[in-house]
Amino acid sequence: MGTADGNCRENGLIQRQGTWKAGCRETGKSGLAEGPGKPAGSNPGRAPRPYPTPSRSGAVLARHAGLHEDTGQLLPAGDGGPRSLVISSDFYAVYQSAGKKADGLVNLYCTAHVRRHFVRAGDASPAQLRYWTQGWLDLIRDLYRAHDELTAAWQGNTAPPAREKRAAAERLEKAYKGWDAAIGVIDVTRETQMQAPGLQEPAKKALATLDREWDGLIAHRDYPMISLDNNLAERTIRGPVVTRKNAGGSHNGDTARNAAVIWTVTATATMASLNLPTYLAAYLDECGRNGGKPLAGPALERYLPWNASPEDLRTWAQPPPAAETLDQ
């Protein structure tokens, strides 16, 4: 999940689904919005995995997004004033419920997830739905193109030079019209097809998903600075998620907190375009020269990317040198 708080600054928080406090009812299966899912404990040799209790799902989102755990409302800003929050996510029900309850919280739903439902419909009935699916993929492609142009036009209109203000404003107005046209075609097509008799069941399910998540899709118009999907956020967390799964989880609070610190450091270095092995090796080498003790004070601050010198940043961005081959 990606979030934008107040000024639409994007973050990499992870999203959930269910009703606010009494949501996310236990179904015995996962993947509520993506299909029937897989029964709990279906992996051979592994004990059934307990599903989150309703209060746990709400508490996790409340902690990460700054929501009151009992009322579901956004907590005040640092100055005591109201906050606004934009969550870019898939269709997990906790996020949907939070968006309905919290004033100032806007849900943006991932268009890539919507597209996936149409692909699956075509795979389920290729003979009957091949051309129907391709038609929908073309419409979604056009929406992505319209959003790309809207994003570029919005960025160009943020602070243009005085001589370019008129052209930038005209481009932005045209980009909004392009978005409206693309989403308008999708709207008409979905309404028409939902009323059509004899439509294949997989197609009906895909259209029902689009209808259910429609408000979170069209809301992208007001936030051109945020991607039409949350693929970047999901790719960003894939490393930690896969590592956690392969390691069998953290098992206790201390190791979980250590893992959080490690992934925060590596994510920060990645955002600064640093090469992780080179950067970490430089830091650990300096710890060795410090008597094997962690750095502190100015010595540590040197390794914070926003404090580092341009020379250090260039060095840490390079891949590690190839190992030298010793002559036998």
Residue 72: per-residue pLDDT: 86
* Average pLDDT estimate for 23-52: 38
The 10s digit of each residue's pLDDT in 280-302 is: 999 999 999 999 999 999 999 99
Residue 1: per-residue pLDDT: 59
Tokens of 139: 């419409």
Residue 4: per-residue pLDDT: 54
pLDDT at residue 184 is higher than 90: yes
CA-to-CA dists, residue 241 to 108, 136, 235, 269, angstroms: 23, 32, 10, 18
Measured CA to CA, the distance from residue 131 to residue 41 in angstroms comes to 38
Residue 256: per-residue pLDDT: 84
pLDDT at residue 323 is higher than 60: no
* Average pLDDT estimate for 239-263: 85
Tokens of 245: 């799964």
* Average pLDDT estimate for 185-200: 94
Which residue(s) pair with 252 in the sheet? Answer: none
Residue 31: per-residue pLDDT: 33
CA nearest to 202, candidates 323, 104, 276, 120: 120
Q: How confident is the model at residue 303 (pLDDT cuts 50, 70, 90)?
A: very high
The 10s digit of each residue's pLDDT in 45-63 is: 545 444 444 457 778 888 8
Q: How confident is the model at residue 2 (pLDDT cuts 50, 70, 90)?
A: low
End-to-end Cα separation, the chain, in angstroms: 53
Q: What percent of the chain has pLDDT over 70?
A: 81
Q: Which of 59-63, 67-71, 228-232 has the highest mean pLDDT?
A: 228-232
pLDDT at residue 11 is higher than 70: no
- pLDDT higher for 41 or 108? 108
Residue 25: per-residue pLDDT: 30
Query: Do the beta carbons of residue 35 and residue 45 sit within 8 Å?
Result: no
Q: What is the mean pLDDT of the chain?
A: 82
Query: Do the beta carbons of residue 157 and residue 172 sit within 8 Å?
Result: yes
Which residue(s) pair with 28 in the sheet? Answer: none
The 10s digit of each residue's pLDDT in 144-180 is: 999 999 999 999 999 999 999 999 999 999 999 999 9
Residue 163: per-residue pLDDT: 94
Predicted model pTM:
0.69
What is the DSSP-derived secondary structure letter of residue 50? P
